[in-house]
Amino acid sequence: MDFKKITIIGFILTCLAQLFIPAKMIMDQENVLKTGTEFKFRTRPVDPNDPFRGKYITLDFMDNTFLVNSNDGWDRNENVFIEFTTDSAGFAKIKNVTRAAPDNPNYLNTNIGYFTTTEDENKMELFFDFPFDRYYMEESKAQPAEDVYREASRDTAQITYALVNIKNGGAVLKDVVIDGKSIKDLVEENEGNKN
Amino acid sequence: MKNDLPQRHFGKITIQLSELIEAGILTQEKAAEIQLFYKKDSDQSQNRLFAVFGVLGAILVGLGIILILAHNWDDLSTSIKTIIAFIPLIVGQGLCAYSLFKKTDSQAWNESAAAFLFFAVGASISLISQIYNIPGNIGSFILTWMLLCLPLVYIMRSSIVSLLYLIGITYYACEMGYWGYPTSTPYVYWLLLLLAIPHYYYLFKNRPASNFMVFHNWFFPLSLVIVFGTLAKDNGQLMFVVYMSLFGLLYLIGYLPFFKNKRRISNGYSILGSLGTVGLLLSLSFDWFWKELRVNDIELMSQEFFVATIISIAAIALFIWKIKNIPENKVMPMEVMFMAFILIFIIGIYSPVTAVVLINLLIFAVGVMTIRHGADENHLGILNYGLLIITALVMCRFFDTNISFVIRGMMFLLIGFGFFFVNYWMLKKRKKEAL
């Protein structure tokens, strides 16, 4: 095979890979969105930005810890499977943390962030950084979104949660909801009131 | 002499040639030959200019697209955003295909199209991450991006993508090794760097005088200097040996025959090696480092010790190779610094005071030898660099309050006079030689 042919085949393969990877990302996310189970995660948002992907709010989850037996030798950064269930108020709660994938598809594959010891010598508390802690906003709306959140958080009766679909280890963040309304709509309402 | 001729000079030459023919000094055939010779150069220079602007344009347009997409347009539906994510990618691939099949010999086309596609890939992945709120840390995002663009370096023969790739993998290594949480040693970086070497070698063999080669001669060593620190784990002190040997190695590479008769500024290896060696020695001329250094802290079975050994052996091997194969090159003071430092480091474990004194003497010796080197080569830049090294040493000692003001004052006076005297002497010598 001559050099020219190799170049052409190489070029075609590269182009296909460049198209396939984004397409695969879309398909994986769509699959979780369409067939995954929806959970509500209680959260507190803040507002940083990413040089390539724009403005987003970072979500700080509240129920992201789990007590385990310290004899099992859990380690920081270890890859684990977290099984979720819903509590009486309808919010997501960690049901179990395992090293092998559970049969139930409502689990997330992630790493242990860090752990702390507890008063009970035999127990330790694992902390997780859930891999759906970024909600991208339109550039001009990220700051107002944070303001809306801050106002909402003064009123302790209001509840902020993230709407997340979960399936077989993957998760897709769909929306951030403050007191029953999507943060996008709230920002627009607020902007409208100001004008 | 081969030179690059702008179009307007080429016009002038044509006029002068016709004058020479009229005067009967040049035959018509000879004039045509001369014209052809200069025309080729003029075309080449124009091509280069076209390539530079093409690449700059492609980079700016690519970055512009990334920024516009980063705005995250709320009014567009997910499916429209998804389609938009693929448009720059397909346009970029189309441009690359066109340049690959129709403009095979045009460097300007190849480089510009490849640069555009490089940014289009980044824009596409980032827009999809945004649409679906995929957090994925920035390290893995850049890694995917770089891997998808690496083939362009070889298929399009694109040096600009090679440079962008070097920046990308360096950023990736920093993200994993320094900035991210939790940090981890980015071993993948070394494999990625290895994948960039064949193109560097291609430039070295086929286009050694090109500007892209000069840029590679800066980007490669700079990337190494930045990323080596990520190899540090718990034996931080040994990293000083690693870096000193790395700077020694870079400096030695900068004095290989390839760099002979090239502009000094194009030699990133020798400049980084030299500045790094001096900078590191100066920071170690204080006693804080040596006071902390204890024999028990040094773990022989550690990653740092392993890296220090390998890099030092590599530098020593290159040093010996150079002495054997290029005997006409004199041994430069900077080339042996890393070996002297290893000895001082071992001494410093047992006697910190001796080490501090030795380091100070070493810097002073480097300064003096650099001044001499500058004088021998009749190079004012090198000469003053030597003086600057000694000035920096004195500055550092200025902060050590245990030296009396009188002595410090005297040191400054001496150096000040030194600057006057040495420069005056050199200029006078030059004048004499000119006469």
Summarize pLDDT for A111-124 with one digit per residue, the tens: 888 888 888 888 88
> Are residues B70 and A53, on separate chains, in Cβ contact within 8 Å?
yes
Summarize pLDDT for B318-377 with one digit per residue, the tens. Answer: 999 988 887 777 778 888 889 999 999 988 888 888 888 899 889 988 998 888 888 888
Q: Name residue B103's amino acid.
A: K
- For chains A and B, count residue pairs whose Cβ atoms are closer than 8 Å: 104
The pLDDT score that the predictor gives to residue B42 is 65
**Per-chain mean pLDDT for chain A:** 82
Which 83-142 residues of chain A touch chain B by CB within 8 A? 131-139, 141
> Are residues B72 and A55, on separate chains, in Cβ contact within 8 Å?
yes
- Does B3 have pLDDT greater than 50? no
Mean pLDDT of A122-150: 80
- Does B203 have pLDDT greater than 70? yes
Q: Which of A138, A173, A184 sits opposite B133 (nearest CB)?
A: A173
Summarize pLDDT for B389-432 with one digit per residue, the tens. Answer: 988 888 888 777 677 778 878 888 888 888 888 888 888 888 88
Please indicate if any CB of chain B lies within 8 Å of the CB of A25. yes
Q: Which of A52, A54, A56 sits opposite B71 (nearest CB)?
A: A54
Please indicate if any CB of chain B lies within 8 Å of the CB of A71. no
- Does A1 have pLDDT greater than 50? yes
CB A131 within 8 A of CB A110: yes
Q: Which of B89, B126, B133 sits opposite A52 (nearest CB)?
A: B126
Which residues fall within 8 angstroms of residue B116, CB to CB, at 6 or more apart? B58, B61, B62, B88, B91, B92, B95
- Does B1 have pLDDT greater than 80? no
DSSP conformational letter for B331? P
Q: What percent of chain A has pLDDT over 90?
A: 13
The alpha carbon dihedral of A51, A53, A57, A59 has a sign of: negative
User: Mean pLDDT highest for which of A115-124, B7-16, B211-220, B262-271?
Assistant: B211-220
Which residues fall within 8 angstroms of residue B383, CB to CB, at 6 or more apart? B370, B371, B374, B375, B422, B423, B426
Q: Is B150 exposed, middle or buried (0-12, 13-18, 19+ CB in 10 A)?
A: buried
> Are residues A54 and B70, on separate chains, in Cβ contact within 8 Å?
yes
Interface test with B, best of A4, A18, A140, A141 (most B CBs within 10 A): A18
A7 Cα to chain B: minimum distance (Å): 6
**Per-chain mean pLDDT for chain B:** 85
ipTM of the complex: 0.77
> Are residues B72 and A134, on separate chains, in Cβ contact within 8 Å?
no
- Does B265 have pLDDT greater than 80? yes
Contacts of A19 in chain B (CB under 8 A): 86, 89-90, 93
A176: nearest CA partner in chain B: B133
When pLDDT is cut at 50, 70 and 90, the band that residue B246 belongs to is very high
Summarize pLDDT for A47-105 with one digit per residue, the tens. Answer: 555 555 667 777 888 888 888 887 788 888 888 999 999 988 889 989 989 888 888 88
Q: Name residue A105's amino acid.
A: P
Contacts of A25 in chain B (CB under 8 A): 125, 128-129, 132, 134
Which residues fall within 8 angstroms of residue B405, CB to CB, at 6 or more apart? none
> Are residues A137 and B72, on separate chains, in Cβ contact within 8 Å?
yes
The pLDDT score that the predictor gives to residue A60 is 82
Instruction: Tell which wins on pLDDT, B186 or A139.
Output: B186
Residue A26 parent element (H or E): helix A3-35
When pLDDT is cut at 50, 70 and 90, the band that residue B183 belongs to is confident
The pLDDT score that the predictor gives to residue A48 is 56
CB A126 within 8 A of CB A112: yes
Q: Which of B86, B133, B152 sits opposite A14 (nearest CB)?
A: B152
When pLDDT is cut at 50, 70 and 90, the band that residue B217 belongs to is very high
DSSP conformational letter for B178? I
Least reliable range by pLDDT among B245-259, B282-296, B371-385:
B282-296
Q: Cα–Cα distance between A76 and B182 in angstroms, integer?
A: 9
The pLDDT score that the predictor gives to residue B401 is 65
Instruction: Tell which wins on pLDDT, A92 or B51.
Output: A92
B108 Cα to chain A: minimum distance (Å): 18
Contacts of B130 in chain A (CB under 8 A): 53-54, 136
CB B117 within 8 A of CB B65: no
Q: Cα–Cα distance between A2 and A6 in angstroms, integer?
A: 7
Q: Which of B82, B125, B135 sits opposite A134 (nearest CB)?
A: B135
The pLDDT score that the predictor gives to residue A44 is 67
- Does B239 have pLDDT greater than 60? yes
CB A63 within 8 A of CB A41: yes
- The percent helix, strand, coil of chain A (3-state, each to 5) is 35, 40, 25
Q: What percent of chain A has pLDDT over 70?
A: 86
Q: Name residue B289's amino acid.
A: F
CB B71 within 8 A of CB A138: yes
H and E: helices and strands count for chain A: 3, 12
A110: nearest CA partner in chain B: B136
When pLDDT is cut at 50, 70 and 90, the band that residue A154 belongs to is low
B71 Cα to chain A: minimum distance (Å): 5
> Are residues B155 and A11, on separate chains, in Cβ contact within 8 Å?
yes
Q: Cα–Cα distance between B250 and B272 in angstroms, integer?
A: 7
Q: Cα–Cα distance between A159 and A63 in angstroms, integer?
A: 14
> Are residues B126 and A184, on separate chains, in Cβ contact within 8 Å?
no
Please indicate if any CB of chain B lies within 8 Å of the CB of A21. yes
B144 Cα to chain A: minimum distance (Å): 9
